[in-house]
Structure 1
């Protein structure tokens, strides 16, 4: 029973965060049509006349990788990382922190810190094309999955599923907002909670892409 409950927790946690970042990515792409077009052109050029996209194709999509990083930077699905507890007394910026203190890392605040990022509130995937900053725990300015030995063990699986889904969406379809809503009017407010969802679900009109 315990193992079944754990499996359900892992499945729910993985699907919730992946779907959340996918919705945020689509929201930002629709708000930035030039970025959307650049991504569509890359995916369609790499895939060519193939029907299906596989993981080997993803490795050739450098702009897609940048969109992934920028989406995770601007909208980390879990803004407050899993709590940690100090195992020994330490000093941080002149403050004495005692052993046993519970520590919460605000990944969202770090990822939007103007001291670390230029124009931090802007969705700009190009910022990652000329830097090796990644989300796998080696660069502390971008830690949506945590870092160290207790970072998220499903980071590779989650990002692969997300990138496959996003690549297939932009490859096969074109998108526009319904009822003549302008992209500037798209609500991008964030709900409060453990997972950072959009306050209002993204609604789009989808049309099949024709060559």
Structure 2
């Protein structure tokens, strides 16, 4: 795929959604960090239901530490893997208080030093909370990048690096969200909605599912 085609793809995605953002609900970098930690193998809808109860009660590291692990579990027990997630969040809150003065660090190395925070989560925080041009490659972005041929790669890190290299600079800040939303609602895993896709004529997927012409 050439640069002209990529530019047109992201121009169209921007035209239909000029200000994309995560579907996780948050009002601070800390809330975003907790929401992303809870979202692993869970839906954003499910996470939002839990955090709508949790954040009015505890939305700082100190407040969550005051709840304790058992207290935190009461708020997030509807979410998958809530036991391990509660443990990691409590550990993270303790480190944030003791090492970072309760402030979410704005660099990858410090973020990835927090329990349960890997490269993808760090990229989400850097992009969504702090406006860095990073690319958090989840299953949706990995699929869209490979299927459309925007930036094919054999693994998540390869796709991330190719996207950062190949996406025109003007689109980089928001590209992460456009690709996730496109994968979640249009370029679905089992049955992509090619007939409803705004980039169908630019996509290089060779097995497009298009409605039959009458």
| TM-score, normalised relative to structure 1 | 0.29
Higher strand share: 1
Q: Which has the higher contact order (CA 8 A, sep 6+)?
A: 1
Higher helix share: 2
